[in-house]
Amino acid sequence: MRLGISTYSYWHFRGPKLPLSEYVRKAWEHGFEGVEILVNHVESRARSYLRNIKRIAFDYGLDLYGLALHNNFVKPSPVEREEQVRYVLEWLDAAHVLGVKIVRINSGRWGTIKSFDELMARRGVEPPIEGYSDEDAVGWVVDCIYKCLDKAEDLGIILGLENHWGLTTRAEVMLEIVRRVDSKWFGVIMDTGNFIYDTYRELEMIAPYTVMVHAKTYFGGGVWYSLDIDYKRVFDILRSVGFNGWISLEYEGREEYESGVKKSRELLLKYVRS
């Protein structure tokens, strides 16, 4: 396994952002092997800009292995779903220029709970829009993923569906989607902090399909909540299914970014190297 860091670890959607090149530099300073880029940190899709970021990472000896998107396929309107498909396709082109290997996609959510803070207080569960069901949404998500897969395969990029709230709040519904998408260019991004009901049972359920891991840490207490994650148990699960890919740190604590990231790296390295 290899240990990298998501640029999200340095910025939690609040306060000023640094240029992406600075987050790449920080990843090098902190001793990570690679960087996963949160789409919010990409300042332009111009090819010259993207090539420059790729070159900066190369100069630091870092692998740009992933790009995390914020799509939402849970849209009753076919027109809106097509817009979301186009969004993913456009970012696949950018990912290809960057040289990343995997693009994080989401199922999306209904949006019946407007505030993300309230959604977290409700443990990620929200009701469907009146007149629709979660089963309707599963079909939409599967259809949208298939519409993105031809391009992903053509570019040699894996689409990774994360257990990231919405339909994927629970492993059972997530697996309904995963088992209906038959492609070696599609898999699961396991987020160790996003199954908050029955954490280890649900992580075990998605482990056989996992192509990358988001490893959450919460030094200083979590921004929205904290989990006391047993990483020995998590890595035992991963090794039991032969996982050898990227572990991507997503530091989500209230402790200052620099020290929280350093502590997180020390914690995860114990298990990556064991």
pTM of the predicted protein model: 0.96
pLDDT-derived band at 178 (thresholds 50, 70, 90) equals very high
Question: Could you give the C-alpha distances from 199 to 56, 155, 195, 230, in angstroms and in order?
Answer: 37, 34, 5, 10
Tokens of 9: 């670890």
Q: Name the strand (E) or helix (H) holding 3.
A: strand 2-6
Please give the tally of structural domains in the chain: 1
Rounded CA gap, 6 and 117, in Å? 22
- Is 116's pLDDT higher than 80? no
The whole-number average pLDDT for the span 121-143 is 92
Average pLDDT across the chain, whole number: 95
Does the pLDDT value for residue 226 go beyond 90?
no
> Residue 121 pLDDT > 80, yes or no?
no
As beta bridge partners, residue 35 has 5, 64
The yes-or-no verdict on residue 166 having pLDDT over 90 is no
Mean pLDDT of 248-265: 97
pLDDT band at 118 (very low <50, low <70, confident <90, very high): confident
Q: What is the pLDDT of residues 184-207, one digit of tens each?
A: 999 999 999 999 889 999 999 999
Instruction: State mean pLDDT over 58-78.
Output: 98
**Residue 223 confidence (pLDDT):** 83
Share of the chain above pLDDT 70, in %: 100
How far apart are the C-alpha atoms of 119 and 262, rounded to whole Å? 29
- The pair of three-digit structure tokens given for residue 267, joined into one six-digit string: 């914690």
Question: What does the pLDDT read at residue 119?
Answer: 81
Give the model's pLDDT for residue 246.
Answer: 98
- Domain hosting 12: range is 2-272
Residues 38-64, mean pLDDT to the nearest whole number: 98
Report the CATH number at residue 35.
Answer: 3.20.20.150
d(CA 111, CA 108): 9
